[in-house]
Structures are given as C-alpha cells and as structure tokens.
A and B are shown apart, each in its own frame.
Chain A
Amino acid sequence: DSGVTQTPKHLITATGQRVTLRCSPRSGDLSVYWYQQSLDQGLQFLIQYYNGEERAKGNILERFSAQQFPDLHSELNLSSLELGDSALYFCASSARGGHSPLHFGNGTRLTVT
C-alpha cells in the first residue's frame, strides 16, 4: 500500500460530461502529481502541485484542470469529455518534488461512452 488514495476506482460517463477525480496524498507529502495512462501506453505527465501551488505542467488539455487544497488533497477535473479521454488516471505524491520517489495510487479508470 503506497499510502496514496484515489477515488473513485471506476467511472463510466458519457461524452460531453464532466467528472472530478480525487486524490489524497501520503501523510506528510506536499507534492501531488497527475498522470494519464492510455491502454498499453506509458504514463503521460499532466500536472504537478506543491503545497497548494501549481509547480509544473505537462501535456494537459485545456478541458482538464486541477487544484490542490489546503489539506493537500487534490482534484482533477475533466470536462467536455471525449471518447479518447478514456484512460487510467494516476495520482502520485512525493515529499520534496522531482528528486524523490513518487508514490502512486491505484488509479481511477475512466470510461467515456
């Protein structure tokens, strides 16, 4: 158990809809990362927060947004969903940022129909 909690585990929704994925980092970790993993693909970095502030941005679509709250949990919002958004979305946390291991949750599987 990595200590990172993601909810929900599964999400099925229709095109055009909006969903929110939630992540609770490991106790004490200040950095939260979001990654997208499509079928048989690697992990694509979306965005990182550190202690509530956006720190780094990857290939995140404008339809997607995220935030980290004062209690350090994070949410990833996906809107105007398309079929191609179907993927596993992983949250990870680390103590210090890029030069310490990221600890991953078990992901949210999003299916857009």
Chain B
Amino acid sequence: GESVGLHLPTLSVQEGDNSIINCAYSNSASDYFIWYKQESGKGPQFIIDIRSNMDKRQGQRVTVLLNKTVKHLSLQIAATQPGDSAVYFCAENDNTDKLIFGTGTRLQVFP
C-alpha cells in the first residue's frame, strides 16, 4: 500500500481548544510534505506545506511540524473553530512527480 498513514482516524475537540493531527510516513526519501483539508462535497484544499530542510512552519492558526528522525508529521490548529471540521490529509512527495496521500483524519469540533 501507500507509505503515508495516520494514527487517529477521528479526532473530536471542543471549540477553542488546540487540535493536533498526526501523520507517519515510511519513505525516508520524501522531501516535501503537504497538509490538505477536505470538506464534504469539495476537493482537498491546500493548508500548508513544508520541505525536509525545515522542521517547523507556521501559517495562520496552523503549524506543521516535521520530525525526520522518526518520520512523523503533525498539523496543529490553534483555537479550533466549527469551520475547521473536515477530513485532513497529509501527503508526501518522494522526489518524483506524484503526491502520495494518507487515509485521512476526521476532525470534529463540538461547542
């Protein structure tokens, strides 16, 4: 199967809390990683990316952490909002022209 996987299929958080979505990858040759958000009925939406020469990158309310030693990627969402409810995918590029996606984590935000 594909090399990218996720630890938790579903994550439930309370509105206002921080969310952490994890992803493991197995291909040590991968050097580019992306997080996508997919809402029901829509295509995946780019959130943030990171290259293997970095271990942290911040966006608006989101932070991606990359640990190449253990081949682990995480997405942190600060002050989670109801609009953040979606399925989140990590994806990796192993220096070819294709992006390999994980199976996804469903984030549920409750009031």
Q: Which residues of A contact B (CB under 8 A)?
A: 2, 4, 31, 33, 35, 41-45, 48, 50, 55-56, 58, 90, 92, 97-99, 101-107
Q: Once the chains are docked, how many angstroms separate the CA of A42 from the CA of B1?
A: 12
Show 15 residue pairs from A and B whose CB-CB distance is below 8 angstroms, ordered by the A residue: A2-B43, A2-B45, A33-B99, A42-B89, A43-B44, A44-B101, A48-B98, A92-B44, A98-B96, A98-B98, A101-B34, A101-B46, A102-B46, A104-B43, A106-B41
Do B89 and A48 touch across chains, with their CB atoms under 8 A apart?
A: no
- Chain A positions within 8 Å of B46 at CB level: 101-103
Q: Once the chains are docked, how many angstroms separate the CA of A26 from the CA of B83?
A: 26
Chain A residue at smallest Cβ distance from B46: A101
- Chain A positions within 8 Å of B43 at CB level: 2, 4, 90, 92, 104-107
Of the listed residues B41, B99, B102, the one surrounded by the most CB atoms of chain A closer than 10 A to its CB is B99
Contacts A33-B99, A42-B103, A43-B101 given; does A98 touch B32 at CB 8 Å: yes
| A56 interface neighbour in B51, B98, B102, Cβ under 8 Å | B98
Q: Which residues of B contact A (CB under 8 A)?
A: 2, 31-32, 34, 36, 41-46, 49, 51, 89, 93, 95-104
Chain B residue at smallest Cβ distance from A105: B43
Question: How far, in Å, is A79 (CB) from chain B's closest CB?
Answer: 23
Of the listed residues B31, B32, B43, B98, the one surrounded by the most CB atoms of chain A closer than 10 A to its CB is B43
Q: Once the chains are docked, how many angstroms separate the CA of A55 from the CA of B98?
A: 9
| B32 interface neighbour in A2, A99, A107, Cβ under 8 Å | A99
Chain B residue at smallest Cβ distance from A6: B43
| B93 interface neighbour in A55, A99, A107, Cβ under 8 Å | A99
